[in-house]
Amino acid sequence: MASNPARRIVLASTSKYRKSLLQRFGLAFETARPETDETALAGESPTATAERLALGKAQAVRGDFPDALIIGSDQVAHMGDEVFGKPGTVEAATAQLTRMSGRTVIFDTALCLLDAASGEHCVETVPTEVRFRDLAADEIRRYVDLERPLDCAGSAKSEALGITLLEALSGDDPNALVGLPLIALARMLRAKGIRLP
């Protein structure tokens, strides 16, 4: 573990993907389940939805951790105004991948660091542009059967077999696509006195 000032760090998420990413920093942290309604508001852009939910998740657990630095994050995948959430079922995952075949999808991953003691917070969105190759129906079926990406926005795990579905991707931080923008988070934590590395 890195030697740091005694600030409690809390990840306001039960996502195994975000937990695994945060573990790369070598910091002690806790996780907490934020109870938040993730429904987009009428007329809200995908980026605004992601940012509102990242902040909302951090604020949702603030009462339980009044002295902590709380990390909230949310991701919205979209093509224009069409949003792709977590599919939840094989049928929905198949439909999403069919729709995204041969197209470019933007994955907006919003990050919030909330200082529960002061109420100060910083929110930043890291977009990733993902271009799917033309996918045959049998490729989609095989992929969904093998990887079961039912808990991933956009139905593809780029850190695993899902990378085979892609033609290209671009963005400032490859970790953002997995669910937690580590470059931005490291910057935010350093600003709060956490030494990294």
- Domain assignment of residue 197, yes or no: no
What is the CATH number for 150? 3.90.950.10
Question: Does the residue 1 lie in any domain?
Answer: no
Q: What is the pTM of this model?
A: 0.93
Q: Which residues of 160-197 are buried (b: 16+ CB within 10 A; e: fewer)?
A: eebeebeeebebebebbbbbbbbebbbebbeeeebeee
What does the pLDDT average to over 97-117? 97
Q: Is there a catalytic annotation at residue 74?
A: yes
Give me the mean pLDDT over the 136-147 stretch: 97
pLDDT per residue as tens digits for the range 146-164? 999 999 989 999 999 999 9
Single out the catalytic residue among 64, 67, 74, 138. 74
Is 3 part of any domain?
A: no
Tally the domains of the chain: 1
